[in-house]
Amino acid sequence: MSSFLLKYLLPLALVASITGAATAQVLTLQQALDAAVQYHPAAQSAALQVQQQRQLLPATAALPDPLVTVESPTGNFYTAGVTQSFALPGVYRRQKALQQAHIARSESEVVMTRQEIRYQTALAYNDLQYRFALADQLRRQDSLLQDIAAAAGRMFREGQTDAVASQFARLQAASVRAQLRAAERDAATAEEQLRTWTGITDKIEPEPVNRRAVQPAVADSTGWQNNPVLQILRQESVVAERQVAVEKSRRLPQLTLGYLNQGERNSPVANRFNAGVSVPLWRKQNNANIKAAQTGVEIARQNLAAQSLILDAAMRQATGDAEKARRALEEYEQNVLPAARAVSDASKRLYEGGLTDLVNYLRNRKDALDAELGYWELLQTYQEAVFKSKYLSGTL
């Protein structure tokens, strides 16, 4: 029976384990960002809006529908006529310029939409990295503490330790096991979140966290000026200004050309043509539209100024948060983590040498674990602040 297991079942188990491991896709941050932009419906909608605005460009030169009439000028016969009105060429140029401004605005919205998608995806990826690292750290601790708890139970039954030490070992093992289960659930939730953003259906694993990627934050007080939202608001100002030009052009007269026989049936063809000019008498309504459009220009400018203040403050906050987290990480790496590990290692040696008890040894291990978990949390906070800085500067 044992030879059968070794010959047939063991290879099958190895193949199954390899197949299961192959289903997990190691995804880089850049791959996640690219997949999210390509998959997300909001990005596709923004691109379609650009297409829609471009499709409207030929309509800026559209003429009014011609007027076709049938009448009997003398009562003896019916004659057909046609009349066509059109604006001066400058009107169509201004309408075209206005539509081109709408196109530029929609193109800026594409950039903004993609930047928002990339930012949310980067946060989801960062969260998954943190959850994986946390679960991995707890998994190693869980394996060790389960062995210690089992050994402490045997030692208590053999009379080599007391009940307090045995129960404390079980408590520590159970506590870490509960943390591990919670971390694994959080990791699964984070993975589902990233799959939602990217559209990837396979199992996802992030790249390991690169501790060396932590760099001093550079405070750029002007980085926010490249934010796509500001570009949209600048385009809003252009749209408003060109709308004013279009409203002013509507005060210009329109020309009308027509063909209609108002005489006898055999009247000369040259006498059947007519021309006219519309007289813009209703200045009040035209001036009202112009003033409203000019107010729209001022509104766009104030919106741009307000958003600039918001982005400036947000950039300073994100840069400050990144620098604060970086300094805390530096302190952890230089002092906290080495000290915690040194205490844990020394406590282990003392315990193995019989110079300290199990309770003190486990407490020291717990302190070291808390320091390690605190470090990972700080690393996540730092990366979130970096992503926000890049998002605000339009460079993510």
SS (H, E, C) 129-164: HHHHHHHHHHHHHHHHHHHHHHHHHHHHHCCCCCHH
> What pLDDT is recorded for position 51?
94
Specify if 10 maps to a domain. no
Specify if 316 maps to a domain. yes
Collect the ranges in the chain with pLDDT lower than 50.
1-22
24 forms bridges with which residues in the sheet?
A: 203
Contact between 286 and 250 under an 8 Å Cβ cutoff? The reply is: yes
SS3 101: helix
> What pLDDT is recorded for position 265?
76
Angstrom distance (rounded) from CA 315 to CA 313: 5
Among candidates 140, 167, 143, which has minimal Cα distance to 153?
Answer: 167
Structural domain count, the chain? 1
SS3 208: coil
> What pLDDT is recorded for position 217?
54
Specify if 15 maps to a domain. no
> What pLDDT is recorded for position 104?
93
Nearest-Å Rg of the Cα atoms of the chain is: 37
> What pLDDT is recorded for position 7?
40
Q: What angle do the packed helices 283-331 and 228-249 form, to 10 degrees?
A: 170
pTM beyond 0.85: no
> What pLDDT is recorded for position 132?
92
> What pLDDT is recorded for position 1?
34
Secondary element (H or E) of residue 242? helix 228-249
Q: Which long-range contacts (CB under 8 A, 24 or more apart) does 27-34 make?
A: 27/125, 27/194, 27/198, 27/200, 27/204, 27/205, 27/206, 27/207, 28/207, 29/122, 29/125, 29/206, 29/207, 32/121, 32/122, 32/124, 32/125, 32/194, 32/197, 32/198, 33/118, 33/121, 33/122, 33/396
Specify if 137 maps to a domain. yes
Specify if 11 maps to a domain. no
Among candidates 242, 261, 308, which has minimal Cα distance to 90?
Answer: 242
Among candidates 217, 208, 209, 206, which has minimal Cα distance to 330?
Answer: 217
> What pLDDT is recorded for position 279?
80
Specify if 202 maps to a domain. yes
Task: Report the CATH number that the domain containing residue 240 is assigned in CATH.
Answer: 1.20.1600.10
Specify if 126 maps to a domain. yes
Angstrom distance (rounded) from CA 96 to CA 80: 34
Angstrom distance (rounded) from CA 381 to CA 289: 51
SS3 217: coil
Specify if 14 maps to a domain. no
Range of the domain at 205: 24-393
Angstrom distance (rounded) from CA 92 to CA 64: 12
